[in-house]
Amino acid sequence: MHEQECVLEGRKTGYRSSINTLLDVPASESILYSTRKDYAEAHYQYFSNLLQLKQQATTLSEDDVYYINGLLKE
């Protein structure tokens, strides 16, 4: 994700310097937002799968829920 943010900033700088076209900036923004969405979905799926696995194995505890809750706040 950091890489995509750097690409976007580079495109903006390139546009201001007339190196890139106006279309390059929105395209880079779109890729960045898509990357952020995919990252958030992967985190959600990981936490959901972890909770389901622990529940199925009957090892889900209150501490697990607090742990995941803490990770989600970061």
Rounded CA separation 66/71 (Å): 9
Q: Tell me 21's DSSP state.
A: -
Three-class DSSP category at 23 = coil
CA distance 60 to 5: 37
Alpha carbon separation from 42 to 6, 45, 59, 68 (Å, rounded): 22, 5, 23, 14
pLDDT tens, 8-49? 677 677 666 676 666 677 788 888 889 889 999 998 899 899
Instruction: Output the pLDDT for position 8.
Output: 66
Range of the domain at 10: 2-73
- Cβ–Cβ < 8 Å for 25, 15: yes
Say how many domains are in the chain: 1
pTM: 0.61
